[in-house]
Amino acid sequence: MNKKEVKKVVLAYSGGLDTSIILKWLQDEYNCEVVTFTADIGQGEEVEPAREKALKLGIKPENIFIDDLQEEFVKDFVFPMFRANTIYEGEYLLGTSIARPLIAKRLVEIAKETGADAVAHGATGKGNDQVRFEIGALSLNPEIKVIAPWREWDLNSREKLLAYAEKHEIPIAKKGKKSPYSMDANLLHISYEGQVLEDPNAEPEADMWLWTNSPEEAPDTPEYITISFENGDAVAINGEKLSPATILRTLNEYGNKHGIGRIDIVENRYVGMKARGCYETPGGTILLKAHRAIESITLDREEAHLKDELMPKYASLIYNGYWFSPEREMMQAAIDKTQENVNGDVRLKLYKGNVIVVGRDSKNSLYSPAHSTFEEDEVYNQKDAEGFIRLNALRFIIEGELQPKRTAKYLNEDKKSKENDKTEEEKVSFGAKLKDFLGIQ
C-alpha cells in the first residue's frame, strides 16, 4: 500500500499499550490523521479512559468515538447465532468470533462519517481476527484500505514495544501484576491464550479463570431458573422481561455463581495452525441448553435435524469471518424461519458446573401425550408399524438376497464368490417370496 494515499484512518482503539503504540506509529509512518474507535461490548472494563489517552496522543476530540454497542451486539449478532445452536468444532461458542463483524461494521460506518479512507486494527498476522476484521470491512466497503501494523512493523517483541512506548512517551500502566495470558472479553465470553497455555498438556492455573467459580467451589445447593423464549430469542428470566444485553448479563451472573461455562480446547485456526484456548462462556452455555430444550418440543423432527446438519457450516462461516457473506445470510433466513414457533418456557437447574433441563412448556408444542404414552391409548394403532418397518427394510431384504456377500461379513460367514449372484430362476423365486412377505396379492 502506498502510504501517501492514506490521509485519514479509523483505528480500532482499546486504549491499551498495543493500540496506543499503533496510534503513534500510524501518525509517524503514514503521516495521516487518526480517528479512534472504542467499542463497549460488555468487556467489563471502563472504556472512557481511552478518550483521555487518545487526547494525550494528539487526537482531536471530534475524532474520538466511544460507543456502547452491548444491546446491538446481543440482539443482532449473539441472538441470531444462538438461534442456530452454533458451536464450532463441538465446543467453542464463538465469543470472540461473533464480536468482530460488529466492530468491523462500526469501523466502516465511522470511516464514512469522518471521510476516512482507511481502517486499522491491532490483530496479529498469525490469528483469525485479522481475517475477520478485514473480510468484514471489505464486505461492507470494497474500496476501504486496511492497515494491519503487525504485518508491517518490526516491533515483534514485548521489549521492542516497550522501548517504542518509552521513546515516544506513551503511558505504560505499571499497576498490579500483569496477566501472562492474551485475553479478549465481551458480554458473551472471556478468552485466554498464550504463555503457559501454549503447552496443550499443561493444566491451566486455578487463578487464571476470572469470571466463574470453580465447580468445586460453587454453591452446594442447586438453583432453579426459567427462561422464556419468543421466536427463538430469550426475552425473560423468571417471568421478568429484559433487554437482550440484560438477559445475557443476568445469565452470566447465574453461570459465574455456579461454575458454568469453562472449556479448554485446541481449535483449528482459519490461517492453518492449531491453537489452544481456554474460554468462559457462562450465560451462553445456559442459553444454548435452554434453546435446544424449547426447540425439542416446538420443531418438527426433519426441521430440527436439518438445522443440526447446517450448523457446522454456519459455525465455520462465523469463525472464519464471513458474517456478511450471502451464504451466511441465506442460512440465517432458513434458520430464522424455523424459529417462528419456538416460543415458551424452559426450567433449568444450575448446579456445580452443570445446566440441567427439568421442564419445558410451549403453546406451540408438538409433544402429544396421547401418542407418546406407554399406557393404553385410542389414537395410535400399533399394527401400523408393521408395514412401516417392512417398507423401510425392503432395500436391505433385496440386497441381502441378491448380494449376500455384503451382509455375510456381519455374520462371520464364509461365503463363496459364486453366491454373490443369483440365477434367474432364484431371482424369480425370491420375487414370489418378497410379494408374500409384503402381503402383495
Q: Give yes or no: 129 in active site.
A: yes
Q: Is the pLDDT confidence value at 413 over 70? A: no
CA-based nearest residue to 119, from 132, 104, 131, 130: 104
pLDDT of amino acid 104 = 98
How many C-beta atoms surround the C-beta of residue 121 within 10 A?
A: 26
- Residue tagged active-site, from 18, 76, 264, 361: 18
SS3 at position 233: strand
> Considering 40, 129, 184, 233, which one is annotated as catalytic?
129
Q: Which three cell numbers, joined as nine digits, stand for 155?
A: 516491533
Per-residue pLDDT at 177 exceeds 90 = no
pLDDT surpasses 70 at 242: yes
Neighbouring residues of 149: CB distance < 8 A, sequence distance ≥ 6: 22, 25, 26, 120, 122, 155
pLDDT tens track for 243-282: 999 999 999 999 999 999 999 999 999 999 999 999 999 9
Helix (H) or strand (E) holding 293: helix 282-298
Does residue 76 carry a catalytic annotation? no
What angle, 0 to 180 degrees and rounded to 10, lies between the N-to-C axes of helices 282-298 and 301-320? Answer: 150
pLDDT tens for each residue of 64-108: 999 999 999 999 999 999 999 999 999 999 999 999 999 999 999
Query: In angstroms, rounded to a whole number, what is the distance separating the alpha carbons of residues 201 and 205?
Result: 12
| Highest averaged pLDDT of the listed ranges 160-169, 261-270, 390-399, 411-420 | 261-270
Residue 229: C-alpha distances to residues 42, 78, 226, 236, 415 (Å): 23, 15, 10, 7, 58
Query: Whole-angstrom Cα distance, residue 166 to residue 240?
Result: 52
- Whether the per-residue pLDDT at 294 is higher than 60: the answer is yes
pLDDT band, residue 428 (cuts 50/70/90): low
Interior CA angle at 154 toward 148 and 157, to 5°?
Answer: 100
Q: Which of 14, 20, 83, 100 is catalytic?
A: 100
Lowest mean pLDDT of 228-242, 326-340, 371-385, name the range.
371-385
Catalytic residue among 182, 296, 316, 365: 182
Q: Which residues contact 79 (CB under 8 A, 6 or more apart)?
A: 232, 233, 234, 244
User: Cβ–Cβ contacts within 10 Å for residue 5, how many?
Assistant: 11
Confidence of residue 417 (pLDDT cuts 50, 70, 90): very low
CB 64 within 8 A of CB 55: yes
Q: Are 310 and 335 in contact (CB under 8 A)?
A: yes
Cell matching residue 121: 486494527
Q: Which domains does the chain have, with CATH numbers?
A: 3-69+96-167 (3.40.50.620), 182-299+342-365 (3.90.1260.10), 384-438 (no CATH)
Averaged over 175-190, what is the pLDDT? 81
